[in-house]
Structure 1
Amino acid sequence: MAGGIVETPVTGTTSEGSGAIENLRERKREQNRAATVEAAWRLFIERGYDHVTVQDICAAADIAPRTFHRYFASKEDVVAEPVRRMTGIVFEQIAGAPPGSSDAAVMRQALLAVGRFVVEHRELLTGLRAVALQSSHLRGSYPGVRPDQEAKLAAELAGRGGGDPADWRRRLLVACSIAGFRVWYEDYFRDAPPDPLTHLERVLAAAVP
């Protein structure tokens, strides 16, 4: 028949179709999750974290509580969403880094990508920092990648070249890179350097010469 429909194996068509549907569902889930997060962030900024309930978030996002709990265990997990995104960016950048790039170069580019995310979302992140300072539950939350993810990042770097994920040099490189990012993060929200990403490059170069 026209279009080669009959010539395409049924199994292949089913597989490709199922994959496309699953990708569509995944994108829809991420869109719904992002909309829920933004609605929650706005409420936290307007009212303060302690004065917002899960029911408030559901009403603002126009979702059922069951849908909310499909994405998050609690409202505190919503506040941690930027950290999840930043960590995801680092893993994505490591996975997509060109073969042959040094670990230091890969980490530098990954954290520059996180820096771009921070700059693009400055308004919301500024509001959330204020919210965190006002809530005893949220004080001390880490900006960017959490320390408990550092070993996983070192393993991801090692996987690129078959190295030892427990190598202290690689773990130290990851730790120093992330520490440098945190210094930049605090500078960015305190002093607002005129060219923040250039400043981030300088900080990362100092952290990992």
Structure 2
Amino acid sequence: MHHSGEDDVDGLRERKRADSRARVVDVAFGLFAERGYDEVTVAEVCTAAGIAPRTFFRYFPTKDDVLTEPARVLADRVQAELAATPARVSDTAALHAALLVVGAELVADDQRAAGLFRVLRQAPAARAHPLMRLGDRERVVAAALVDRTGGTVDWRVRLTVARSTAAFRVWLDDLVDGAVEGDPMAHLREVLDAS
């Protein structure tokens, strides 16, 4: 049986691990932006991050997996938001609310987000990685969406997810390219509403 003190220690340990992973991603993406993904070795990332290669490989099985970390974090965040949304909320409203939360987090740290996504655009390894396959990610989000209601994933749910995630990608491209005029969150709401 876990005691609350042990839970606190486990929670702290998990937060420290997540912070350390995020720091490694930031360092790696900084190097990738400077020199290009293919020109940076895992050893160089480890040296710049002040970690041992063993630690790197505990977090990321391969260098390619570092590239997919931002997408994984975003997908996990969307799933967590959906899990916390009551079943009475429509699928579209639940999904849009989750994407607005994620969008607000990206806007709050827009320079970092823009840098991460610029690197992803330039790295062929990111596009080839299984985590970046859009259809697969959309199926995971669709499953999280219907888990709230006990429903099943059908073409309607998949279409809702595909339209909303396409709208989010359009908004994210605008954000990364500096093409958002005015309030980025108002722009996200407008794009989502148009989907």
Which TM class, normalised by the smaller chain length?
0.7 to 0.9
1:141 is displaced (CA, Å) by 7.9
The answer to whether the 8 A contact 2:117-2:176 is kept is no
The answer to whether the 8 A contact 2:83-2:147 is kept is no
The runs of at least 4 consecutive aligned structure 1 residues that moved more than 6 Å come to: none
Q: Which of 88, 101, 105 is the equivalent residue of 1:117?
A: 105
Aligned residues: 193
**Relative to 1, partners in 2 of residues 1:84 and 1:170: Cα closer, same or farther, differing over 3 Å?**
same
Q: From the CA coordinates, give the structure whose radius of gyration is larger.
A: 1
Aligned to 1:148: 136
CA displacement 1:103-132 (0-9 Å, x = unmatched):
111100111112123223332333344434
Task: Spell out the pairing of 1:26-41 with structure 2 (5 A cutoff).
Answer: 26-41=14-29
Answer 1 or 2: higher relative contact order, Cα 8 Å, separation at least 6. 2
Q: Which of 60, 71, 74 is the equivalent residue of 2:59?
A: 71
TM-score of the superposed pair, with normalisation by structure 1:
0.82
TM-score of the superposed pair, with normalisation by structure 2:
0.88
1:145 is displaced (CA, Å) by 8.8
Letter in 1 for 2:176: F
Q: Distance in 2 between matches of 1:136 and 1:37?
A: 17
Aligned to 2:173: 186
Q: Distance in 2 between matches of 1:52 and 1:70?
A: 19
Task: Spell out the pairing of 1:80-95 with structure 2 (5 A cutoff).
Answer: 80-95=68-83
Runs (5+) with no aligned partner, structure 2: none
Letter in 2 for 1:46: E
The answer to whether the 8 A contact 1:94-1:107 is kept is yes
1:51 is displaced (CA, Å) by 1.6
Aligned to 1:170: 157
Percent of pairs identical after alignment? 44
1:84 is displaced (CA, Å) by 1.0
Runs (5+) with no aligned partner, structure 1: 1-10
